[in-house]
Amino acid sequence: MNNTMGIILAENSEIRLNELTDVRSVAALPFGGRYRLIDFILSNMVNSGIINVGITTLFNYSSLMDHVGSGTPWDLNRKTYGLFILPPYIRGGNSAGSSRGSVDLLYGVLTHLRRSPQRHVLIAGGNLICNMTFDAAMNFHKQNEADVTVIYSNLSENPDQLKRTTVYELDSENRVIGIEHNPRNPKTPYSSMDMYILERTLLIDMIEEAYAKGSHDFIKDVLLANINSLKIYAYEHKGFVGRVDNIKSYYENSMLMLDDAIRKELFSGENPIYTKVKDQVPTRYGENSNVSDSLIADGCSIDGTVENSIIFRGVHVGKGAVVRNSIIMQNSIIQENCDLESVVIDKECTLRPLKRLIGQPNYPIILPKRTMI
């Protein structure tokens, strides 16, 4: 796929995770103890041989830029092509920008698209957790002589999530004959993974036309509007797919990382998930510590009890503290005799001794970044 470039949409105006995305884009959200969400799609592209990757940004993208840097962990710090951070398009004197959807984001990077020589473009969102390569999808695209190939997953076992996605209706040859966005009663279980393959020149033409008409959404105003005139085919990804689109889904997908089979599929195959390297000392476990069914990153100090939880780098859990079914992000401090259950604690928070926070799996308590209690 060296004749394909990648565009990652790091922000989605329909996705909000309250306090967790007030200070960062969705793609920069910490995940799994040491990763960010963008690591998955960025690694998938690199593992597919894509070496020209642009990341569109909108708001609060400083943490995203700090994480990806020049692209060194993904071997994208190159003299030719490599990784490009593409700031938002700002029209006139409007410092807040003019982006109201994916069409606006793509219109803002038309110069980058025009300058790139690759024939095809792979567009993807930054909020999916999966490990895949795109060679088979590209072959499917070429064999069907498709104008656009969309990548989807079958959510027949998770019908509630279908109502928060784009759903495709397919014919016997997997050609898209219908598109529903956030349907109340989905007709099919074929859920979009927000990944699209098409020719670069076709994308430029479609975005210019949509923007000129005042359209803003790539799905509704481009794909759906041209469903009869374009040959749109759908390729199924059959592996694990985690979609982060609200607090509940972030918590649930994080807890799924404690499942051996899912963790092995994502991280132990021949295609690694790369991330920013931080060299830290191994975690220290005190003589009174008790850890079970948890992911503990390096650089931590554990003197209490941790059960069924995900602990990021540099976290301190004090003596007598109990952490259950929780996510504790980098450099947070849980002092002595705290009791936590079903909470998500953002980076650099501090809980003083004897604090008690009890949430529910379907409604976890969220502590914003640098909170002190």
Domains defined along the chain, listed by start:
4-267 (3.90.550.10), 284-367 (2.160.10.10)
CB 307 within 8 A of CB 342: no
Beta-ladder partners of 360: 363
Place of tokens 């003197």: 303
In which element (H, E) is residue 111 found? helix 110-115
pLDDT in 10s for each residue of the chain, 373 residues: 889 999 999 888 778 788 999 889 999 999 999 999 999 999 999 999 999 999 998 878 889 999 999 999 999 999 999 999 998 765 544 444 455 688 988 999 999 999 999 999 999 999 999 999 999 999 999 999 999 999 999 998 888 888 889 999 999 999 999 999 989 899 999 999 999 999 999 999 999 999 999 888 999 999 999 999 999 999 999 999 999 999 999 999 999 999 999 999 999 989 999 999 888 899 999 999 999 999 999 999 999 999 999 999 999 999 999 999 999 999 999 999 999 999 999 999 999 999 999 999 999 999 999 999 9
Q: Largest Cα–Cα distance of the chain, in whole Å?
A: 68
DSSP 23-67: SS-GGG-EETTTEETHHHHHHHHHHTT--EEEEE--SS-HHHHHH
Would the pTM of this model clear 0.85, i.e. be above it? yes
